[in-house]
Amino acid sequence: MTSGQSARRREPLLAVRDLSVVFGGIVALNGVSFDMYPGQILGLIGPNGAGKTTLFNCLSRLYQPSGGDILMEGASILARPPHRIAEIGISRTFQNVALFPNLSVIDNVRVGTHSRSNGDIITDSLKLGRVRRGEAALNRKADEILGYLGLRDVAHSVAAGLPFVTQKRVELARALAAEPKILLLDEPASGLNHEEVHVLGDLIRRIRDERDITVLLVEHHMGLVMSIADHVVALNFGRKLAEGTPSQVQSDPRVIEAYLGSKDR
Ligand code: ATP
């Protein structure tokens, strides 16, 4: 039995229900529904303009849908602002990398650990001893993640000076530092060479297997999606075109047609 099949017997971790987004006159998403189950790597694909980024931005709460709902463990996330989704276990990375360029790698990762801690500056200053112990735990967490991702050697380097592939990995470390249940990856393969994409694929699978994290992957790199996803949702013109295993979706005539027809878009 594949992990995708066993996952489907359980309750969805995340449920996208009849989601629509309208920008002015443009319907960017039109009644899209699908479920994500614990332990899945779900690939979200579609030609240019299909609505992938719009859906991703709804999940990370940057966009407010015009209709429908997104449920995390059965509860709507739509009233939650973007800076409060880490608290319920959703973390994201950005396609073009959004690190604090002048901070060190470890400080960037510490930012991620803080997004899951619930202290604020006033209560923290009243409980200094406890906060110091909390800080020590967060530092240990950041160090553990840097070790896990092979980044300890650059822990004290300034983020901006690092190669792009390393910056992408630091961003992944920051997202993992928040200890998410769901990791949203926005085109993680973009800007990487063939070998780097291969390494990335292994890493994403390892993160799912070893850290028990469910992954949603928006990606143009079909080789990566088809080799690591156990469930694929294909969008076109804002609608769900097909979903299933990678081989089911890859051989679906509607998906083939959408990609062939997309060359002129
Ligand atoms: P790509 O693969 O090219 O990134 P995509 O699948 O991510 O495409 P979206 O960026 O979600 O597609 O776009 C879906 C549709 O919504 C397109 O027609 C796009 O022009 C439109 N759209 C997206 N964002 C906005 C916006 N902020 N304002 C107006 N229209 C938008």
Residues 88-104: tens digit of each pLDDT: 999 998 877 788 888 89
0.85 exceeded by pTM: yes
Q: Per this entry, what is the length of the chain?
A: 265
Q: What is the model's pLDDT at position 265? A: 53
What is the per-residue pLDDT for 132? Answer: 61
Question: What is the distance in A from the centroid of ligand 1 to the CA of 236?
Answer: 11
pLDDT digits (tens, 9 = 90+) for 55-86: 999 999 999 999 999 999 999 999 998 888 99
pLDDT at 100: 87
Ligand 1 in reach of 49 Cβ (< 6 A): yes
At 82 the pLDDT is: 86
Q: Quick count: other Cβ atoms within 10 Å of Cβ 107?
A: 17
Q: In sequence order, what are the residues at sequence separation of 6 or more whose Cβ sits closer than 8 angstroms to the Cβ of residue 103?
A: 111, 158, 159
Residue 205 CA, distance from chain mean position: 13
Q: Which of 53, 57, 235 to mutate to test the pocket of ligand 1 (most atoms within 8 A of CB)?
A: 53
Mean pLDDT of the chain: 88
Q: pLDDT > 70: what percent of the chain?
A: 87
Burial of 126 (0-12, 13-18, 19+ CB in 10 A): exposed
CA distance 127 to 199: 43
- In this prediction, residue 128 carries a pLDDT of 55
* Closest ligand 1 atom, residue 57 Cα: 11
Gap between the Cα atoms of 55 and 231, Å rounded: 17
Question: So what's the pLDDT on residue 219?
Answer: 93
